[in-house]
Amino acid sequence: MATTDAMTWVAGYEQAWRSQDTARLDELFTPDARYLRSPYDAGLHGIEAIAAFWDDDTTFAMDAELVIADDRTAVVRVEVRYTGAEPQEYRDLWVLRFADDGRVRHFEEWAYWPGLHWSVQGR
């Protein structure tokens, strides 16, 4: 997976998400893709489940930078700032595992937000 390929995929994801164009999901994900909203999430399975999760038209800004990529895996640092009635900011790491055709077969999100403590005890 070339660096440019991974970031081209991220740009396509952002564009489809921003426009709520769930018809483009089959260009981004394999039919049996697994989409984990957190590392311990059981995950969404398949494009239909991902499309249902995406059903949110909240306005947002997004920045992304590649951390590392190898043959089939990329890790991307993403910052998303929702700007609607309830502003919220997230800093994520996305672990993307690609199929041979360049679509993602496994999407895993590690999201953090202001006020989320690094320890279980909240210290």
| pLDDT greater at residue 118 or residue 27 | 27
- Whether the pLDDT of residue 17 is over 70: the answer is yes
What percent of the chain is modeled with pLDDT above 70?
93
In the chain, the amino acid numbered 1 is M
The pLDDT assigned to 1 comes to 58
Domain spans in the chain, listed from the N-terminal domain onward: 3-112
CATH number of 3-112: 3.10.450.50
Band (120; pLDDT cuts 50, 70, 90)? low
What pLDDT digit, counting tens, does each position of 37-68 carry? 999 999 999 999 999 998 777 889 999 999 99
Residues 51, 25: contact at Cβ < 8 Å? yes
